[in-house]
């Protein structure tokens, strides 16, 4: 393995995943991962550009940043690339009106979006909102469309809360894909468009950036496919079984 | 297209799907499909052997047969091949203790099964039971096993109730498969073992049998792959869009 200096040569920007890297979510807002508040502060004092690239879709960026600041992190809303605002841009560009199967905590991000007479479905990590009734409603909306369009805010398999592993949006995306015989459009990691938008916002080229995350697929492979370097932490959902 | 006489030459036994062929389920127990009570009575008066081959997994065979008899159908419990009893045989053979994610209506079929300290998961069409909490529990049980084993009672995409299309177990099987990175073992149509057990119980060879159903994958392709003939009805979930 090459020395760290060599592996990080030419790096100008750092993209940080949030859940599992900065903190583990859970009851009462979750808890910072040991050392992460200090590590971020040190990064911010360095010459490196820092940006946050998250698939968080249970909270609006405002709520997410507020929670992280209360935990001690130096972070502001303008530094966060997240799937919900990226989805709103796509919906507006394509004139789509979504049926939303999302967590109440992120609903405010869609305030400016017309949801009447829906012609597509948007799903995000809805947590308890993934009831049979809500899934069936999303399914029925899709089946009534001539060309069903399904957006999924990320496609993570699961994440880790302080209470244990929790199903993410990905399994529910797969459920609707199978039920309707369609393929979802993923907005969020590991979509290349999503990483590219984060790089644009950071004003750093892919070969000058490193992604730090706990998800071998969403963070690591995704970033590498975009020409970035990537580093997997051993916190969050990291498991020695899931390195391949 | 060959004439009916030619297409049915040598047929000695008829396997009938139930939901979408005999009746459409729904509020208040559902409703018989027009003409089906009489058609079944006529079949029973013929020389043909008749057996019912269903993926119904919300109800025990006893409850299903009771409901169908009240709707006017000539059917008895011993004539029904269903996934829950087939699964119980497999669990006993392999010494497996399931965590059950199933509808309360079918729970009695598992009365004789040890569910302590589970080493596998069984999912069936749980309807409203497919809550986030219940799905997450099944996911956590699987993730804690060294060799996760998931049984799915059928893998249907959806079925039709009087109130509209409803998600079946298949999408939830796909969700758990994706979340855990595993492949489920399907007990029920279109599994060849399931059709073969129905044929054995009817004492008819595959080439002497015809399957009648509304599901192009579960009923029609599945039966044909076993060497049976098959006939798709235009009731239930049949849609001209889904013939291929």
For CA atoms B71, B72, B76, B82, the dihedral sign is negative
Chain A residues within 8 Å of chain B (Cβ atoms) = 126-133, 135-136, 139-140, 143, 157-158, 164-168, 170-172, 174-181
Quote ipTM for the complex.
0.87
A4-82+189-242 belongs to CATH 3.30.420.10: no
Residue of A nearest to B164 (CA): A140
Write down the pLDDT at residue A7: 81
Average pLDDT over residues B106-134: 97
pLDDT the model gives residue B237: 80
Q: How confident is the model at residue B2 (pLDDT cuts 50, 70, 90)?
A: low
Question: Is A165 close to B135, i.e. CB distance below 8 A?
Answer: no
Residues of A in contact with B135 (CB under 8 A): 130, 167, 171
* Secondary structure letter of residue A95 according to DSSP: T
**Model pLDDT, residue B17:** 97
Please tell me the predicted confidence (pLDDT) of residue A226.
Answer: 95
CA pair distance B222, B226, nearest whole angstrom: 7
Provide the pairing of β-strand B209-213 with B13-16: parallel
Q: Would the pLDDT of B242 be above 70?
A: no
Of the candidates A130, A157, A178, which has its C-beta nearest B170's C-beta? A178
Q: Which tokens belong to A45?
A: 């004092």
Phi and psi at residue A151, in whole multiples of 5°? -100, 135
- The more confident residue out of A104 and B217 is A104
Q: Is the predicted pLDDT of residue A241 greater than 60, yes or no? A: yes
Question: Which pair of structure tokens corresponds to residue B173?
Answer: 């099987």
Contact A181 B157 (CB under 8 A): yes
pLDDT tens profile A63-91:
999 999 999 999 999 999 999 999 999 99
Is the CB of B143 less than 8 angstroms away from the CB of A166?
Answer: no
Residue A25 banded pLDDT, cuts 50, 70, 90: confident
Q: Which residues contact A205 (CB under 8 A, 6 or more apart)?
A: A199
Whose tokens are 């049984």? That residue is B151
DSSP letter, residue B218: I
Contacts of A142 (CB under 8 A, 6+ apart): A121, A148, A150, A176, A179, A180, A182
Q: List Cβ<8 Å contacts ≥24 apart for B61-66.
A: B61/B85, B61/B109, B62/B108, B63/B105, B64/B18
Task: Record the tokens describing residue A226, joined without a space.
Answer: 């975009």
pLDDT at A222: 94
Interval A118-176: pLDDT, tens: 999 999 999 999 999 999 999 999 999 999 999 999 999 998 887 889 999 999 999 99
Inform me whether the pLDDT recorded for A1 exceeds 80. no
Task: Report the candidate in A211, A209, A215 with the shortest Cα–Cα distance to residue A234.
Answer: A215
Tell me which residue of B166, B22, B193 sits closest to A139, measured CA to CA: B166
The H or E element that residue B167 is part of is strand B164-167
Do B83-187 and B4-82+189-242 fall under one CATH topology?
A: yes
The verdict on a CB contact (< 8 Å) between A175 and B171 is yes
| Contact yes or no for B165 and A143 at CB 8 A | yes
Answer whether B135 sits within 8 Å of A130, measured CB to CB. yes
CB contact under 8 A, A171 and B179: yes
What percentage of chain A carries pLDDT values higher than 70?
98
Chain A residues lying within 8 Å of B157, measured CB to CB: 178-181
pLDDT band (50, 70, 90) for residue A244: very low
pLDDT number for residue B169: 97
**What is the mean pLDDT of the segment spanning A47-52?**
97
* CA A117/CA A133 separation, integer angstroms: 19
pLDDT of residue B138: 98
Q: Which of B126, B143, B178 sits opposite A170 (nearest CB)?
A: B178
Contact A177 B181 (CB under 8 A): no
Please report the DSSP string for A6-19 in residue order. Answer: HHTTT--EEEE--B
Q: How confident is the model at residue B25 (pLDDT cuts 50, 70, 90)?
A: confident
* A37/chain B closest Cα distance in angstroms: 30
Residues of B with CB under 8 A from a CB of A: 126-133, 135-136, 139-140, 143, 157-158, 164-168, 170-172, 174-181
Contact between residue A122 and residue A115 where contact means Cβ atoms under 8 Å apart? no
What pLDDT shows up at residue B161?
83
Domain chopping of chain A, boundaries: 4-82+189-242, 83-187
User: Does the structure show a pLDDT above 50 at A181?
Assistant: yes
Rounded CA gap, A172 and B221, in Å?
A: 26
Domain A83-187, CATH: 3.40.50.1000
């Amino acid at each position: 393995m090459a020395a760290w200096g060599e592996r990080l040569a030419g790096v100008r920007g750092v993209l940080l995943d949030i859940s599992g890297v900065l903190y583990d979510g859970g009851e009462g807002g979750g808890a910072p991962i040991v050392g992460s508040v200090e590590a971020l502060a040190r990064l911010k004092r360095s010459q490196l550009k820092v940006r946050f690239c998250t698939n968080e879709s249970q909270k609006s960026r405002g709520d997410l940043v507020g929670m992280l600041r209360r935990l001690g992190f130096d972070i502001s809303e303008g530094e966060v690339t997240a799937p919900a605002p990226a989805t709103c841009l796509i919906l507006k560009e394509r004139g789509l009106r979504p049926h939303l199967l999302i967590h109440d905590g992120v609903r405010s991000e869609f305030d400016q979006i017309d949801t009447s007479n829906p012609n597509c479905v948007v799903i995000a990590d809805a947590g308890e909102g993934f009831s049979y009734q809500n899934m069936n409603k999303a399914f029925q909306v899709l089946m009534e469309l001539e060309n069903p369009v399904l957006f999924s805010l990320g496609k993570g398999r699961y994440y880790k809360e302080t209470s244990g592993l929790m199903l993410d949006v990905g399994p529910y995306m797969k459920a609707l894909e199978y039920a309707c015989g369609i393929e979802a459009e993923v907005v969020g990691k590991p979509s290349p468009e999503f990483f590219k938008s984060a790089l644009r916002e950071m004003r750093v080229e892919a070969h000058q950036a490193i992604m730090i995350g706990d998800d071998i697929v969403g963070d690591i492979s995704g970033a590498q496919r975009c020409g970035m370097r990537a580093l997997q932490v051993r916190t969050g959902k990291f498991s020695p079984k899931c390195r391949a």
